[in-house]
Amino acid sequence: MIIIPERSIEEIAASIKAVRKAKGYTLMDVEKKSAGVWKAVVIGSYERCDRALSVKKAVSLANFYQVPLEELLGFKSRDTTSPREKITLDIRATTNENPYLPELVALRNFATLICSKRHDWNGEVLSIRNSDLTTIGLLINRDEASTYEWLATNRFLLNK
């Protein structure tokens, strides 16, 4: 179930402006970088709430800025599940399985990379962030929720 919080037009306009500024663009930069597709005066009008932004235009603007639509409109997260407090991979458990299974190879490579960056060579457990589930999911072709479920089902997570 997706719950979208109520947002005022002013909040959405402020979010559109914040995305532009986060990209480091002035209004004129937007016009130049879009080759005139997005006029500075039009973007300014959206940011001041002087002009209505259609869904079609919002999608197009989000694509131009290369941000998700929900980011452009100020809806930071559409995930209604509660965040997991701490995720700890049991690296030892991955060695008990088929060493050539592509998902396990990807998981081990991910864990090795993180351990290398942290200079943590114990090789037994690894604490990861919630956002790392997205990365692992990309590596094993799953979404974040099913990645967590896959890790839990295969007992690659330590229960704390």
Q: Which residues pair with 89 in a beta bridge?
A: 126, 157
Instruction: Give the mean pLDDT of 67-76.
Output: 84
Whole-model pTM over 0.95 = no
Question: Can you give the residue ranges of every domain in the chain?
Answer: 9-72, 87-153
The whole-number pLDDT of residue 81 equals 45
The whole-number pLDDT of residue 85 equals 63
Listed in sequence order, the residues at least 6 apart from 139 whose beta carbon sits closer than 8 Å to its beta carbon are: 103, 106, 107, 109, 110
In CATH terms, 9-72 corresponds, of 1.10.260.40, 3.40.50.300, 2.40.110.10, 3.90.850.10, to: 1.10.260.40
d(C-alpha 99, C-alpha 52), whole Å: 56
Residue 1 has pLDDT above 50, yes or no: no
**CATH number for the domain whose boundaries are 87-153:** 1.10.10.1930
d(C-alpha 5, C-alpha 3), whole Å: 6
H/E element, 12: helix 9-22
pLDDT digits (tens, 9 = 90+) for 82-135: 456 678 888 888 877 677 788 888 998 898 888 888 887 777 888 888 888 889
